[in-house]
Structure 1
Amino acid sequence: MKTMIRNITNILFVALMFALISACGEDGLNADSVIKESQREENDFDRWIIQKYVTPYNIDFKYRMEDIESDRDYNLVPANYTKSVQMAKLVDFLCLQVYDEVTGSKEFIRSYFPKMIHLVGSPAYRNNNTMVLGTAEGGLKITLYNVNAVKVTDVEELNRFYFKTIHHEFAHILHQTIPYTTDFKEITGSSYVKDSWNTTYSSENESLPKGFISPYASSAPDEDFVELISIYVTSSPEVWAEKMKKAGEGLGLVTAKFEIVYNYMLNSWNIDLNKLRELVLRNESKIGNLDLDKL
């Protein structure tokens, strides 16, 4: 009797499943997904990026807002199209071309520069209310913020908000690839203040006498190292000399650290920072001759 009941139950279950499958078929369902990837039409700027970034350097230049590339810890807006074109041309002229010239080929940038430059239109702020000028993630991507506010004719502002950041983040990649000597960390080893750098030093007038080229340089040895590179190559000899004058009793500390930085770049990468700065300043002086809107 139990066996008969079990068989009847199995038959009813199979019949029910068949009925459900048949009902689904009658609804006209098919195997095609209803979720479609968004399509975008390639424009002249996209083709220019392929010609100037992707083909010679294998660098992707992203200017459209993409959730996967954006930091959701911040409230961000997309980069303006016109500003993105201007920034792409400036990065090429003031950075990529300069490193090509100082190293003698495109291979240096192709091998070591991040594979993506990502533009964001708005600024981003840390918890300590300081602005994030740029970030580099694992040597793969540099993100530049506040692009919609860029003033393409203001060299000082370009350096302060964008190109000092690019040199800074690129220098991180270089020292992570070939470490600098531990001697550097010992010069001001007990004076680094971590995240309180912005409350410890309000300006370089306060940080320089303590041996730090900028307030942010006092946060950690790695930041100190790359700040020396980025500030040096974007400062004229006169501006750098003025900073050294401000250093006062901290001059010996800054000089000792910069000597290590200079020798590191020369011996590890065959890059003379004096020559790199010369080329950066030369191209900066030619910005006014560029048509930054025409592709």
Structure 2
Amino acid sequence: MKNIKLFLVLATALFVWSCSEDDLDSKSIFESETVAEQNEFDKWLVQNYVIPYNIDFKYRYDDKESDMTYNLIPADYDKSIALAKLIQHVWLDSYNEVAGENFMKENCLRVMQLIGSKAYNEDESVTLGVAEGGIKVTLYNVNEIDVDNIDLDVLNYWFFKTMHHEFCHILNQLKEYTTDFNLVSQGKYKAADWVNLNDNDAPALGFISGYASKEEGEDFAELTSIYVTSTEEAWQAQLDLGVVPVLDNEGNPTGQYDSTGKETIEAKFDIVKEYFLTKWNIDLTTLRDVVQRRTQEIYTLDLKNLN
């Protein structure tokens, strides 16, 4: 069975879709018109997303806001509530704690779109999320959330890592990082062929993940998001995959090891850390510690009730 690869897409432009509404059932489950009366969740979102951050949190399916190349389904109402509270606690409040409340108010995205299903691509990859024009992020696979049986690995991989990755793209658009970063792995990026590089094999080539080998911008965002969503032990374990045994001409181990891959990742990560510290006054290690603590606090959150 072929492995399904997962990745995140940075869209550099917004797309405008025109759709005919002739002969549509007025009771369609897809909300394409403005909702006149707010429910309790809408009111909660106004207080927790709109007023403090000016974020339009879209949990209803709107085909005009979605990528029509995918076969998608709406996000469940209850799971949208859970994810809104999770993102607030683990993502928004982590940056508030480290960088101050004004940081997210000034630099945060302005639209968040939830989609219930996965977004499958023709190359057998699956899109985790999309950042568009520096103002909008779309999250997929929301219906995978099991509120009664919280799985941190699922939440971390599909949502928390995605938010840090996409937000990194937004920050990079606001303040560019040094071009020195692009030189470290120059000539080694794989473009579309990244789907054939396993995450466990990527470190030997100097990349923290398979998707990081796509191009420089994704490399930078992957280093950021994987670091802050990983424990120190998990981060070091991934780096250690960049140390490989040296083989002789017949393919036998020589007893020596090549650490070039690990050293390459560390060199790029040093630039990433310097960027966040000098451009945004954020210590990534401090941010990582806060994210890790807040992730563990998920078990204490009430993800079902609006309070």
Superposition pairs for residues 139-288 of structure 1, below 5 Å? Answer: 139-152=134-147, 153-199=150-196, 201-202=197-198, 204-248=199-243, 249=259, 250-288=261-299
**Alpha-carbon distance change, 46 to 39 in structure 1, aligned in 2, over 3 angstroms:** closer
Please state whether the residue corresponding to 1:247 is helix, strand or coil: coil
For residues 118 and 222 of structure 2, what CA distance do their matches in structure 1 show?
A: 21
Amino acid at match of 1:282: R
Amino acid at match of 1:90: L
Unaligned runs of at least 5 residues, structure 1: 1-34
Q: CA deviation at 1:40?
A: 4.1
Please state whether the residue corresponding to 1:205 is helix, strand or coil: coil
Superposition pairs for residues 115-134 of structure 1, below 5 Å? Answer: 115-134=110-129
Q: CA deviation at 1:156?
A: 1.3
Please state whether the residue corresponding to 2:162 is helix, strand or coil: helix
- Report which of the two has the higher share of strand: 2
Q: CA deviation at 1:196?
A: 0.9
TM-score by length of 1: 0.85
Computed over aligned residues only, the root mean square deviation of the Cα atoms, in angstroms, reads: 1.5
Please state whether the residue corresponding to 1:285 is helix, strand or coil: helix
Q: CA deviation at 1:159?
A: 1.1
For residues 267 and 146 of structure 2, what CA distance do their matches in structure 1 show?
A: 35
- 1:214-268 per-position Cα deviation (integer Å, ceiling 9, x unaligned): 0000000000001000000000001011111111120110000000000000000
- Alignment partner of 1:45 is 2:41: yes
For residues 280 and 39 of structure 1, what CA distance do their matches in structure 2 show?
A: 34
Residue 55 of structure 1 corresponds to which residue in structure 2?
Answer: 51
For residues 56 and 127 of structure 1, what CA distance do their matches in structure 2 show?
A: 39
For residues 151 and 68 of structure 1, what CA distance do their matches in structure 2 show?
A: 28
Higher relative contact order (CA 8 A, sep 6+): 2
TM-score by length of 2: 0.82
Percentage identity across paired residues of the two chains: 47
Q: CA deviation at 1:39?
A: 4.8
For residues 39 and 80 of structure 1, what CA distance do their matches in structure 2 show?
A: 17
User: How many pairs are equivalent?
Assistant: 258
Amino acid at match of 2:97: E
Superposition pairs for residues 17-36 of structure 1, below 5 Å? Answer: none
1:81 maps to which of 77, 80, 85: 77
CA contact (8 A) 1:151 1:157 kept: no
Amino acid at match of 1:169: E
- Report which of the two has the higher share of helix: 1
Larger radius of gyration: 1
Please state whether the residue corresponding to 2:200 is helix, strand or coil: helix
